[in-house]
Amino acid sequence: MARQELARFLRDRRSALRPHEFGLPTNAPRRTAGLRREEVAELAHMSVDYYARLEQARGPRPSPRILDALAQALRLTPAERSHLFRLAGTSAPPPATGAVRRVRPHVARMLERLPETGAIVTDAAYGVVAWNPLARALLGGDLGRGTTNLARRRFLGEGRMPESSSAEEFGYIVVARLRRAADRYPHDPQLAALLAELHVGSEEFGHIWETRPVHAPGHRTKTLDHPTAGSLRLNCDVLLVPEDDQEVVLMTADPGSPSARTLRRLASTV
């Protein structure tokens, strides 16, 4: 166990965090940048004394459970998480237990800077974890309320799903991603409940599941029938957030096209 290096790594990552991203007050004076030790300890569900000893290079070797809690509290990337385990003398970190269902603040802020682009972020189980106003105007006002999930929308009719030329293709895309999620997170109870619900509620889902579809995210073009704006020809491009196994879906129209003008009008009303 590399105690000194582990202590330095924890201090560096703690100082890089921003209190406002955790909903913590920023008006109170702070002696150093980043979060306080007690704030990290609370996020990791451990005693302040135990965490302080780790940062002071005088603590015992942390267990994999403790390391996993620290990785989540410090919002480490997969590479940083693996490095944390190596510093603690544990060569192979355990696999993630479930899909990440929160969006990183910098990803959420990116959506706000796309006024004429509809954008959503989905987790590994197709739950919508972030969206911007234009995406809600395109996909329905119920987007993001409660536990909006695009798989439930597609196969169970939950919420408003606008008519689209890619509806059949999207069904295969959804199943392919859910199959990947099932392989990666076999102990995720929310994912297991979703899959059971889809199998019971949709014969189509069960049929596609048995075909074992494979799909890589990328570019698609579809026609969407909006209830008030009419027919829109949209480009759908996917950006990956690999550290959280999430996807950012960007919905745009070709510059100068009638659909682009319609998107601009929609964006001006939200």
Q: State the pLDDT confidence band at 95, using cuts at 50, 70 and 90.
A: low
Q: How far is CA 160 from CA 118, 153, 157, in A?
A: 16, 7, 7
Q: 165 or 35: whose pLDDT is higher?
A: 35
Q: What is the pLDDT of residues 170-213, one digit of tens each?
A: 899 999 999 989 888 888 999 999 999 999 999 999 999 999 88
Give the number of C-alpha atoms closer than 13 A to the C-alpha of residue 167, restricted to the C-beta side: 12
- φ and ψ of 47, to 5 deg: -70, 150
- Whether residue 264 is predicted with pLDDT greater than 90 in this model: the reply is yes
pLDDT tens-digit readout, 4-50: 999 999 999 998 888 877 777 666 667 777 888 998 999 888 999 99
Question: How far separated are the first and last CA of the chain, in Å rounded?
Answer: 54
Q: Report pLDDT for 139.
A: 86
Question: What is the rounded distance in angstroms from the CA atom of residue 196 to the CA atom of residue 242?
Answer: 26
CB atoms within 10 A of CB 159: 18
Q: Which domains does the chain have, with CATH numbers?
A: 3-87 (1.10.260.40), 105-268 (3.30.450.180)
pLDDT per position as a tens digit, 141-156: 777 665 589 999 899 9
Please tell me the distance from the alpha carbon of residue 28 to that of residue 5, in angstroms, as a whole number: 30
Tokens linked to 35: 């979060």
Q: Average pLDDT of the chain?
A: 86
* Three-state secondary-structure class, residue 235: strand
And the tokens for 59? 């603590």
Q: How confident is the model at residue 160 (pLDDT cuts 50, 70, 90)?
A: low
**Band (163; pLDDT cuts 50, 70, 90):** low
pLDDT single digits (tens) 15-27: 888 887 777 766 6
Is residue 232 scored above 80 in pLDDT? Answer: yes
What is the CB neighbour count within 10 angstroms for residue 194? 22
**Per this entry, what is the length of the chain?**
270
| CA proximity to 59, closest of 41, 76, 43 | 41
Measured between alpha carbons, how far is 207 from 189 in angstroms, rounded to an integer? 23
Amino acid present at 154: R
Give the sign of the dihedral formed by CA 95, CA 99, CA 101, CA 105: positive
How far is Cα 122 from Cα 144, in angstroms, rounded to an integer?
11
Per-residue pLDDT, 228: 86
In this prediction, residue 204 carries a pLDDT of 96
Task: Tell me the pTM.
Answer: 0.66
